[in-house]
Structure 1
Amino acid sequence: MSIVDRERVKSIFLHAADLSTTARAGFLDEACADDAALRGEVESLLDAEVEPVISSALAAVHRARERDLTGDDDTEADMPEQIGSYAIHRLLGVGGMGRVYLAEQDRPRRMVALKVVRPGVFSREMLRRFEHETQVLGRLRHPGVAQIHEAGMVEGTPFFAMEYVDGVELTAFAREHDLSLRDRLELVALVCDAVHHAHQKGVIHRDLKPANILVDAQGQPRILDFGVARASDSDIQATTLQTSVGQLVGTIPYMSPEQAGGETDEIDVRSDVYALGVILYELLGGRLPHECDEVPMHELVRRIRDVEPARLGALNRAARGDMETITHKALARDKERRYQSAADLGADIRRCLASEPIAARPPSTIYHARRFARRHKAVVGGGTAVFAVLIAAVIGMSWTLYKAKLDLERRAIMQYYMGLMQNAVYDGVEAGEDPTFFVGMLDRSAEGMERAIEARPATESEIRLNIADGYRAARAWPQAMRHAERAWELCIAEHGPEDGWTQWAEITVADALRGLERKEEALPRYRHCLDVYRDNLDWFDPDTPTALQGTVALLREAGRHDEARGELDATIAAYRQALERPGLSERAAERLNEWIEAAESLQIS
């Protein structure tokens, strides 16, 4: 067997060794797939690992029968009353290494989270990992990290007592409190501070995920569970790091490509940066970058390594721009293109919050087009214009992808290139390219989409809005109107008349009507959007000034100057009232002041 295969066997074995017999079978089905030789090697190692603990396992079964226990051994039925000087109150959770209890320490008197290795069934590997976690946590002193109080051994069972964090998981907290995008960004910036502190102490977490980040009553996120952390300095490496070489530890949907691929030599602080990017994407976009429901493990790993996630702005329009750029930089598959530290990511998030220029820059449309062309030389050819490459890519994929029942990976690719296509049109027109070229390419793309998206309302609205924006950039108003109006109808059915997506569609319809000189029809569209935006200023929708400008311009063109003045006065008053809100962030205030200045300039124009 090759060295690579040996490492794979070791990785799978070490992961399976921590699982129950029932869970182990399913894991091996996924991890080994159809490789019978690989599975045989792993199972032979597992059999050897089991032998030394058979007697203790039988003893545990005997004790369970004596206590008339039934069901899983991870229940509270056999929970101890006391461990050392700690009175056990209840079970908080069960992990691969052991159990975590809520306990009360005698001196000093305080509530703690007490982590103990599962009695009677731990291996040397688990003991080494436990020892490692204790050393790691003992180094960290930061308000964003749960603190360790004590470590020790009771009757041969290792334990450590750490600060009990009474909090809510990060994503659940954001959902339950209906946090704004700004509030979510501020939370992630605080998490970045804590992660950077760990990195400065030579610690890589390797399992950052919402379940390991609790938000306390003061709104402070606290990072838990450094059980799979890796020290990056030599003293701990010498005694503990060898236990995890080749081991796939962590939670796959949050793993970096190098971590998911088992490239342990490539794991560094930027692997944690990637996990922070996944958390950011999930908080802002409402789902993971790579869907994992009913996806085999090996396929999910392949997607993480090889497939670009859908652009964040396609999931949440309000996250377009800097938020999207920051998130996708953190999620770069090539770690050299990521932020080089958690501190850099946190700093850019705070620049975004302060309306300052961010350090990250989105890769140019030309860069993406050339990269696509390099991957498809046989199809594209050396002399094809890069703008045509992007649009042709969408044309070629549209029918094929949807015919395949919208496979999630392919849909993500299609959404990704749809966004690039739209940007290509804007960039090309602004650069002086002939708009008719783009109109022709968009027409061909739209024809393919018409045949392909019959039964997917949410997806169809998103695609049509992007196509409509492309036509709008090319000043092709009839086509922009047709796609925007259909998208608006779908958004109403899918999201309701006052949703942000619906307003985006209606603004696009209004712009198209105005471009077609159908101004009497455009005006009520602009006014309706303006009313919705004024009632929902916490959205900070970038189209709010567009709705105001369109309304005022058309009223003035119709000679209805008093109405135009009334709309301006009402909007400025709404902006000023919003400025009075308690707890308004600096960035929100800055944006409102910008909008007030723009509205006042309309008053005197």
Structure 2
Amino acid sequence: MKPSVLVLFREALDRPVAERAAFLAQAGADAAEVALVRDLLSALTASTLKTDTDAAPLAMRRAGSEGEQIGPFTLRAPLGTGGMGTVWLAERTDEFSQRVAIKWLYASTSAQARARFARERDVLARLEHPAIARIVDGGEDQGVPWYAMEFVDGETLLTYADGARMDLRGRLQLFLQLADAVQFAHQNFIVHRDLKPSNVLVNQQGVLKLLDFGIAKLLDGSEHLTELQSPMTVAYAAPEQIRGEAITAATDVYGLGLLLFELLTGQRPYRAHSSAEMLQRITATDVPVPSRLALSDSARPPVDRRQLRGDLDVIVLKALHREPSRRYESARALADDLRRYLAHQPIHARADSVYYRAGKFLRRNAAASGVIGALAIGLLGSAGWAFQKQQEALQNAQSARASSDFLLNRLTAASPWKDGATWTVRDLLKDTAQKVGPELADQPEARISLYRTLRDALAVERPSVDALFPAEQLVKELRNRDDFQGESEALYELLRVQMHQIERLDMAEPTLLLLESRIPELDPALARKVYRSRAYFENYRGVPKAALRAWMQLLPPELQHDYRFDPNATEFNAAQDAAAVSALIDLHRQNADLRNVIELLELLEWKGRFGARDDLPQQIGIVQSLVGSVSDLLPPDQGLALAEYLAAFGAKQFGAGSAMHEYIAMNRLLPLVRAGRFAECERIISEFQRESSEFPEESQLSIRRGYTGLALVAFNEGRPDKVQKALAQLDAFVKSVPGASEVDANRIEVTWLDAWARWRLGEPEGERNFLSVMQQSKELGADYLEGIGYYELARKAFEQGDVEKATSLVNTVDPDGTFVVLNPNHPLTELRKSLGLAESSQYSDRIEALHQATRWLIDTMSQQAPEAPRSTATQSSEH
């Protein structure tokens, strides 16, 4: 049986019979799975009625009523009703005064349920612990089994902690009561396996009580329940429970981890819209780091998330590991680490080091540490740790002094009055980087600090190959220290220099491959950066399919298959990666899927309004993505007006002519092409290339994209001769710059343009070659190039007077005009008009709404940011 069917069946079975149909109708599961569950429930009901026919009237009566007598107890008020029984608040009516909770089964329940009920009574009878609700009495009433347990007048664990406004320490101390109770149960060979907030109550005195051992598992070999006989609460189930694997003490350790996660963050680690989705998340995705959990709109963190960083993150993630063998070996081990944390002692789950243990020692002895420092660390005499700490302090002081002296010496050496030398700042930085190793050979901490500073400084003024040396040296230094995390972060920064700052894909590829091999061990935030880098790398190479595979790693499953936009799912939408959503838009654009493009653009617009309203840089990035896509969907004049509106915002906020303004203004290129203003496009691209060509080795990708852009403009202009000229210039540049040919950037686009130009210029075998390149485009994931190819074949047929063939070719790739809307191109649009074929008018109202919403977002950003000061040149040009 599929796990999703099993989970749905279990959840339906736990509900009263009358409520099951409504539950299944609203479950959001596959129709075939729902039908199967209905059949299973029908078969189970028929079997139960057949074996318990005589008891059915009794079952109806056994729902209970106020004042009814059960043994020595009188029922007072219902506490809960389930699919198999009821729970009542009751009072003892003999010589004792006592309130209890009475639980009994319906008479119509199956023999298996009765066996589980009897086992629950036996389990509770064996558990005498202050934090476990104890059994008081039990028996049968008219053939129906019941038992009474102490009544806990209190609130659930989470409600109590929030209501009492408990701080971090208070929450952990309360949780330790629960961990001790679970450990006691394990010592008695019992696994609770249904740990959830409703089963953990805290009374008015702050005493915790663990309830409901109804589905507990005995570890002494006396239990032989099948998978279907083992109910669970899906949201609080361990992965092995969902997979139907062995239940052990590690299952309860996972349950404790879930409760600790929620107690500290105010949220469960996984959120989903259906049981099937929850099942998938629990069994196939990693638990988010508590201190970096994205908050839902309604959630307020009960403690400052900064307090969770470090040890508490490690403790929670170890308890919640998907593999049982990698969790804490017991509830006691989990509790021990929490107690060590509270005592500022090193926890066992964390790798030991002198620095870590030293920090914990100083936290434990804050006052004493100050006195020791003032008198003399040496007074600790034989304490070897103190001597080591003293040496570390001296080394740090020596490192800082060495760095200071070294930099002072370098500045002196660079004096313009010494030996008539004239040095620029960049010359000084480059020379300093070369001298760090030889002159600070015995100061590793100083070398690390200086290499990091010099790497960043050499990339500030402009992209520069000079930043490579300190970036590479920093990686080596951290590798020699066996600092895996530090080395990984330095590798990522080296990758940024190689791929984005000096645009050397040949250098970047091995660095990227090394980082990808480490992804399972990387911090989640760094792993996301690596996936994003792979996506950009494949984009640069012109392999869309590979790029999209990387982008998909940054998106949840819901956005990858059968996506539907839901503006009400705020906790789901607010966490999305805008760049990854933009990549998904490109995918649907290539597939001519206008509906999904619109819905994803609405998601981006929603994120711009709510998810990023207090983050101007992120909002600008989102709005740029919106303008780039929305302007394509509008008529050419409207699309150009929208792009120019954003460019005006860039000039106002960042200064006309600034790098940021020019970056934003590049959104004008495609609308200008669509409007047929080719000369302006060429001017913008040529200016971009002139700036890049000042540093050709560091800007090779930018220059290559410039030549490709000129070829694309010429293609839209219908000039194959100009396309060939631009591609010839590109080829000459690639041959002239070292490393530029190592990784074939934009290869399929360039190959397609070259094949198109040769075909249009009448070269022999031109059409056959062009058809072959169209097929290659599709295989690489650049489906839009195949679609445009069909249009070009139709345009050639139309020029030759074969209107029927031209119409047939267009209808093959774009019967309703959606492709042209999503892949706007001047010649293609003109061809459709000539053939009398209309463009798609689907979703025109939603496109216009997106247009207006995007303009509103630009206005909102203008109000958020202060106006940039105008340059002297700008001011003088106005007079």
Superposition TM-score tier, normalisation by shorter sequence: 0.5 to 0.7
Give the AA of the match of 1:319. L
Instruction: Say which of 12, 15, 21 aligns to 2:17.
Output: 21
- Distance change >3 Å, CA 400–CA 168, structure 1 → 2: closer
Shift of residue 13, structure 1, vs aligned partner: 5.4
**Other-structure match for 2:402:** none
Q: What is the aligned counterpart of 1:344 among 313, 322, 333?
A: 333
Q: Does 1:182 align with 2:174?
A: no
Task: Give the aligned partner of residue 822 of structure 2.
Answer: none
The answer to whether 1:303 aligns with 2:246 is no
Partners in 2 of 1:364 and 1:252 — Cα distance? 36
Alignment of 1:181-200 (within 5 A): 181-200=168-187
For the structure 1 residues 246 and 55, does the alpha-carbon distance in structure 2 shift closer, same or farther, using more than 3 Å as the test? closer
What residue number does 1:51 align with? 49
Residue 277 in 1 paired to residue 257 in 2?
yes
CA shift for structure 1 position 57: 4.1
Could you say what secondary structure the match of 1:455 adopts?
A: helix
Shift of 1:216: 1.8
Q: How does 1:176-325 map to 2 (within 5 A)?
A: 176-234=163-221, 236-237=222-223, 241-242=224-225, 244-261=226-243, 263=244, 265-292=245-272, 295-315=273-293, 316-325=305-314
The unaligned stretches of length 5 or more in structure 2 are 294-304, 352-482, 490-508, 536-550, 560-564, 581-603, 619-653, 655-879
C-alpha separation in 2, matches of 1:181 and 1:190: 15
Aligned equivalent of 1:142? 129
Equivalent position amino acid for 2:285 in 1: V
Secondary structure (helix, strand or coil) at the match of 1:228 reads: coil
Whole-angstrom distance in 1 between the partners of 2:82 and 2:511: 50
Residue in structure 1 matched with residue 88 of structure 2 by the alignment: 101
Do the aligned residues in 1 keep the contact of 2:68 with 2:75 (CA within 8 Å)? yes
Render the CA deviation track for 1:430-457: whole Å, top value 9, x for unaligned: xxxxxxxxxxxxxxxxxxxx99952344
Residue identity matched to 2:252 = D
Which string of whole-angstrom CA distances, capped at 9 and with x for unpartnered residues, describes residues 412-436 of structure 1? 7979x9xxxxxxxxxxxxxxxxxxx
TM-score (norm 1): 0.58
Instruction: Find the counterpart in structure 2 of residue 591 from structure 1.
Output: none
Native 8 Å contact 2:262 2:269 kept in 1: yes
Q: Distance in 1 between matches of 2:274 and 2:605?
A: 31
Query: Per-residue deviation at 1:51?
Result: 3.0
Change (3 A) 1:460 1:206: farther
CA distance in 1, matches of 2:608, 2:88: 53
**How far did residue 168 of structure 1 move?**
1.4
Question: For residue 33 of structure 1, what is the aligned residue in structure 2?
Answer: 30
Q: For the structure 1 residues 382 and 452, does the alpha-carbon distance in structure 2 shift closer, same or farther, using more than 3 Å as the test?
A: farther
Summarize the alignment of residues 50-199 of structure 1 with structure 2, pairs less than 5 Å apart.
Answer: 50-52=48-50, 53=52, 56-57=55-56, 78-106=65-93, 109-199=96-186
Aligned-partner SS, 1:288 = coil
Do residues 393 (structure 1) and 382 (structure 2) align?
no
Which piece of structure 1 moves more, 308-317 or 338-347? Answer: 308-317
Residue identity in the other structure for 2:531: A
Distance change in 2, residues 1:284/1:126 (3 Å): same
Question: 1:309 offset after TM fit, Å?
Answer: 2.8
Give the 3 Å change call, closer, same or farther, for CA 379–305 of structure 1 in structure 2. Answer: farther
Q: CA deviation at 1:382?
A: 4.4
Q: Distance in 2 between matches of 1:193 and 1:462?
A: 48
SS in 2 for 1:168: strand
Q: Which amino acid aligns with 1:350?
A: R
Residue 349 of structure 1 aligns with an amino acid whose one-letter code is L
1:349-364 alignment to 2 at 5 Å? Answer: 349-361=338-350
Match of 2:608 in 1: 454
CA offsets per residue over residues 376-414 of structure 1, 9 Å max, x none?
Answer: xx9997445658865232455499749956896797797
Q: CA deviation at 1:17?
A: 4.2
Compared CA separation, residues 218 and 34, structure 1 to 2 (3 A): same
Residue 526 of structure 1 corresponds to which residue in structure 2? none
Change (3 A) 1:117 1:9: farther
Deviation at 1:461, TM superposition (A): 5.6
For residue 127 of structure 2, what is the amino acid of its counterpart?
Answer: L
Structure with larger Rg: 2
* Larger deviation, residues 90-99 vs 165-174: 90-99
- Counterpart Cα distance in 2 of 1:156 and 1:356: 56
What is the CA-CA distance between 1:190 and the residue it aligns to? Answer: 1.3
With over 3 angstroms needed to count, the CA separation of the structure-2 counterparts of 1:399 and 1:23, relative to structure 1, is: same
Deviation at 1:28, TM superposition (A): 4.6
The size of the alignment, in residue pairs, is 402
Change (3 A) 1:104 1:339: same
For residues 188-217 of structure 1, what are the alpha-carbon distances to aligned partners after superposition, in whole Å with 9 as ceiling and x for unaligned?
111100000001101000111111111122
- 8 Å contact from structure 2 (residues 16, 84) kept in 1: no
Deviates more, 1:101-110 or 1:12-21: 12-21
Instruction: Give the equivalent residue in structure 1 for 2:585.
Output: none
Matches within 5 A, 1:439-588: 454-457=608-611
C-alpha distance 400-186 of structure 1, shift in aligned 2 (>3 A): closer
Give secondary structure in 2 for the equivalent of 1:159.
strand
TM-score (norm 2): 0.41
Structure 1 residues 484-517: Cα deviation after superposition (integer angstroms, max 9, x where no partner): xxxxxxxxxxxxxxxxxxxxxxxxxxxxxxxxxx
* DSSP 3-state at the match of 2:347: coil
SS at 1:122's partner residue? coil
Alignment of 1:366-445 (within 5 A): 382-384=513-515, 386=518, 390-394=528-532, 396=535, 397=551, 401=555
Higher relative contact order (CA 8 A, sep 6+): 1
AA in 1 matched with 2:30: A
Within 1, Cα distance between the matches of 2:119 and 2:286? 35
Q: Which residue of 2 aligns with 1:42?
A: 40
Q: Is the 1:144–1:221 contact (alpha carbons within 8 Å) kept by the matching residues of 2? A: yes
Name the CA distance, whole Å, in 1 between partners of 2:512 and 2:66: 68
Distance 1:314 1:40, change over 3 A: closer
Pick closer, same or farther for the CA change 1:392–1:382 going to 2, 3 Å. Answer: closer
Letter in 2 for 1:249: P
Q: Which amino acid aligns with 1:393?
A: Y
Give the letter for the 2:246 counterpart.
E
The CA deviation at 1:96 is: 3.7
1:252 offset after TM fit, Å?
1.4
State the identity as a percent. Answer: 33
Query: Quick one: which amino acid aligns to residue 189 of structure 1?
Result: L
CA distance in 1, matches of 2:258, 2:338: 14
CA RMSD in angstroms, aligned pairs only: 4.2
Relative to 1, partners in 2 of residues 1:318 and 1:246: Cα closer, same or farther, differing over 3 Å? same
Aligned to 2:774: none
Cα deviation code 1:556-595 (max 9, x no counterpart) = xxxxxxxxxxxxxxxxxxxxxxxxxxxxxxxxxxxxxxxx
Partner deviation per Cα, 1:57-97 (whole Å, 9 max, x = no partner): 46767x7xxxxxxxxx96x7x34521111122222222343
In the TM superposition, what is the alpha-carbon distance from 1:119 to its structure 2 partner? 3.6
Kept in 1, the 8 Å contact 2:127–2:134? The answer is: yes
